[in-house]
Amino acid sequence: MVIGNGFFTDNESDAITEMKKMVKCDVKRCAFPSSKNLTYYISEHGDLFSMQKIQGKCLTRGPKKAGSSQGHGKRKDGGITHRLSMGQSGHGKEKWIAAELLVYCTFILGRWEPDLRIVFKNGTASDIRPDNLELPPNELPPKWSERMEEYKEMYQQNFNRVVQSVKWWCSISVEDAKDIVSNTFIWLCTEGFRDVVNPALWTYWSRKRGYDFIYRASKMMMGENFDVELETRGTTDNTPEIDLFHIQKGEKRSRYLQLWAQGYTPTDIAEMEGTKIGNVGGSVTHSIQFLRKYFRNEKEYLRT
């Protein structure tokens, strides 16, 4: 039911559905701390909603459009600042918050960090879509810098060991392993925020990210290899004549590669096949390396 500049729904889920229809993009509960009877929601484009519970119903007001003059302030750089209440029922102390900070903390970070400074990848402050927002290079909020300094000694003592573990378990190069391990450490101390960062946790998440790296890189490489296969046969109309799966060595390797090509992750496959994630990740990696060599050799042969 619509009333004034708001509408009633039976629950939060229905309200979010209506919000999405109104702004034609994704909407989430805002990471900004909610008061006792007032919750904020924000869209990917920075449109702000507020919700109150009244006699068991949800009264949603908004949106305060990111492109309008109502409910927000325009900055000199063209960015948007929303005014949010910090009171118990929406009538207490108000605070102006940059819309890009609300969007970043809600859609990317998943928690409220008021001290972050957000920059825009395309340089346009009015474009506050999540994929246009990032932290400034080499700039971290004070609490994150303190955490990284706190674990500096642990990092130096365990870095090479974690790198070798990731290299061995994921069958990747030392250079790739170093990048993954370094980025994982930063993530654990910042956006991944764990109360305690220790070598075991660091190794676990580094391996997990290593498998994700294999998955993304292999998908990309597989697509390129299909293009090479079609190119070397002189046509883009026919499908490859070879069976990419059964030229693998062993039934398990063929099976793992088939499941992976269907979109399953190494974690999914390990659960389905009753084996370790490392076994699946290593098998898929070796399969991709085999295919890379196969296509390279065939391409050279057909062009001779």
108-149 pLDDT tens trace = 888 887 878 888 888 888 888 998 898 876 666 667 777 778
Q: What is the pTM of this model?
A: 0.47
Q: In whole angstroms, what is the distance from residue 250 CA to residue 86 CA?
A: 62
Local structure of 93: helix, strand or coil? coil
pLDDT at residue number 179: 83
For tokens 């990747």, name the residue: 172
Q: In whole angstroms, what is the distance from residue 76 CA to residue 275 CA?
A: 57
Q: In whole angstroms, what is the distance from residue 5 CA to residue 228 CA?
A: 57
pLDDT at residue number 207: 87
pLDDT at residue number 273: 82
Which positions of the chain have pLDDT values less than 50?
67-71, 88-92, 221-242, 301-304
pLDDT at residue number 241: 46
pLDDT at residue number 186: 80
pLDDT at residue number 210: 82
Per-residue burial over 263-299, b if 16 or more Cβ lie within 10 Å, else e, is ebbbeebbeeeeeebbbbbbbbbbbbebbbeebeebe
Q: In whole angstroms, what is the distance from residue 129 CA to residue 131 CA?
A: 6
Residue type at 175?
A: E
In the chain the beta strands, taken as DSSP E runs, fall at 2-3, 6-9, 27-29, 39-43, 48-54, 57-64, 72-74, 80-85, 94-98, 119-120, 133-134
**What domains lie within the chain, and their CATH numbers?**
2-134 (3.90.75), 150-302 (no CATH)
pLDDT at residue number 41: 93
Query: 133 φ, ψ to 5°?
Result: -110, 145
